[in-house]
Amino acid sequence: MPPRGLASERNNHWLPHPYPGVGFTDLRPLLKETDKMSNSHLEKPTTAGIHASAPLFEVRDLETVIHTRSGTVHAVNSVSFEINAGETLGVVGESGSGKSVTMMSLIRLLASPPVELRGGQVLLGGEDLLKLDEGALRDLRGKKVGFVFQDPMTSLNPVFTVGFQLMEPLRQHLGMSRRGAHDRAVELLALVGIPDPARRVDEYPHQFSGGMRQRVMIAMALACDPAVLIADEPTTALDVTIQAQIIELMRELQSKLGMAVIWVTHDLNVVREIADRVLVMYAGQVIEHGPVDALFAQPAHPYTRALLATMPRAGGAKQERLRAIEGMPPILTEAPQSCAFRARCGHARARCAQELPRRQPLSNGHDVACHYPLREVAEHV
């Protein structure tokens, strides 16, 4: 018997199935061209020549707090961003910086209490998701918004087969027949590269390897052709070849359906490869944001710069020690009133301890929340 501290097979507190879904919605009328960043080399056929006034998905001043016995944690502090159809937004940041809490807040997947959505707006096609009632929200999850959780085992129910969990939304919300849903489930498993899908569809989550569970999650999120895909560390358990396959699959859907993708990851190589724009989070805030090339070439926030400098060099000589950023992030018992990075920052001055830096534009859609942004080109490139 494994010791008590280790749940023997898996724990059984799982979330209810988050996205009962319905079919593909035509979002083309909502697409916007003028705002697109410098990503003309990525062909996005659906967005060509279509104009609309607002971005597909817009988050404004989102505030999320978590009430605990030892006080309130200010996990998300005034986070704002937007994304257009067909675009990919990469979200990076320190472990514990609030990426997952932000993403789960967007479609209100967090239990409340302890979580409280204090403020802000989450606009999808002009509609504020934070104002929707539970029923409408349930319809939307999966219909328009697909979600891949960071932790597959929390969202796969251990007592049902993988196939059952894939079929449920297809049957309930697409009105598919049992047979049809079953066939579609097998097809979805094949799409994410699960060998022998016809047999595996009848197996339970614990019979899948770590990477396979993660791919089941991806299959579920994509099942109903969502307009927005929120993927929280979707490929952490996957090797490069299968990761490449998933990225290709996502790109295909993106160009076919104009799906917008929010991709949370700590894998900076992946971000560089797939993102149009990047959002950098620290202490529950967006501290830098910009087009991927500008951000990698000229990271302006000292944290971003330090983060990029820790990337292990792929080729070349073996480093003896890897570089880490010294120090720890602050505990967020209150929303930051001054720069949250200053204790670890080599450029901090008096003002950094007195005043909260707000996001200020640098150039071409690149903005940073720092009183003394760095201007030189980074060494690491």
Partner 1 sequence: MSEPLFEIRDLKLHFPIYGGLLRHQIGSVKAVDGVSFDIFKGETLGLVGESGCGKSSCGRGLLRLSEPSSGEVVFDGRQVTALSHKEMRAIRTRMQMVFQDPQASLNPRMTVSEIISEPLNEHANLKRRALIARVCELMDAVGLNRAFLNRYPSSFSGGQRQRIGIARALALNPDFIVCDEPIAALDVSIQAQVVNLLKDLQEQFSLTYLFISHDLSMVRHIADRVAVMYLGKIVELADTELLYQRPSHPYSKALLSAVPGAVASRRADAPREVLKGDLPSPANPPKGCNFCTRCPHVMDICRTTEPELKAVAPGQYSACHLND
Ligand X SMILES: Nc1ncnc2c1ncn2[C@@H]1O[C@H](COP(=O)(O)OP(=O)(O)OP(=O)(O)O)[C@@H](O)[C@H]1O
Q: Which residue has the tokens 């699959």?
A: 249
Residue numbers 98-127 binding Mg ion by CB under 5 A: 100
| Closer residue to Mg ion, CB minimum distance, 108 or 171 | 108
Q: Of the listed pieces 52-60, 127-135, 303-311, 366-374, which binds partner 1 according to CB under 8 A?
A: 303-311
| Closer residue to ligand X, CB minimum distance, 267 or 273 | 267
Burial letters 96-125, b for 16+ CB under 10 A, else e: bbbbbbbbbbbbbbbeeeebebbebebbbb
Q: Which residue has the tokens 């996001």?
A: 359
Applying CB under 6 A, among 52, 62, 73, 217 the residue interacting with ligand X is: 73
Applying CB under 6 A, among 212, 224, 227, 261 the residue interacting with ligand X is: 212
CA–CA dist 289, 359 (Å, integer): 9
Q: Of the listed pieces 41-49, 95-103, 161-169, 216-224, which binds ligand X according to CB under 6 A?
A: 95-103
User: In this structure, what DSSP letter does residue 24 have?
Assistant: -
| Closer residue to Mg ion, CB minimum distance, 206 or 380 | 206
Q: Of the listed pieces 49-57, 116-124, 162-170, 211-219, which binds partner 1 according to CB under 8 A?
A: 211-219
Position 128, amino acid: D
Q: Of the listed pieces 56-64, 181-189, 272-280, 357-365, which binds partner 1 according to CB under 8 A?
A: 272-280
- Which entry of partner 1, ligand X, Mg ion, none binds 340, CB below 5 to 8 A by partner kind? none
Positions of E strands within the chain: 57-68, 71-83, 88-93, 115-124, 127-128, 145-148, 228-232, 260-264, 277-282, 285-291, 360-363, 366-368
Q: Map residues 229-268 to x or -, x wherever contact with ligand X holds by CB under 6 A.
A: --------x-------------------------------
CA atoms within 13 A on the CB side of 106: 28
Told to check if 114 binds ligand X by CB under 6 A, we report yes
Tokens of 343: 């204790």
| Closer residue to Mg ion, CB minimum distance, 46 or 150 | 150
How many of the other CB atoms lie within 10 Å of CB of 10?
15
Shortest distance in whole angstroms from residue 342 CB to partner 1: 17
CA 35-365-286 angle, 5° bins: 115
Instruction: Name the site residues for ligand X (rule: CB under 6 A).
Output: 66, 68, 73, 75, 93, 95-101, 114, 150, 206-212, 237
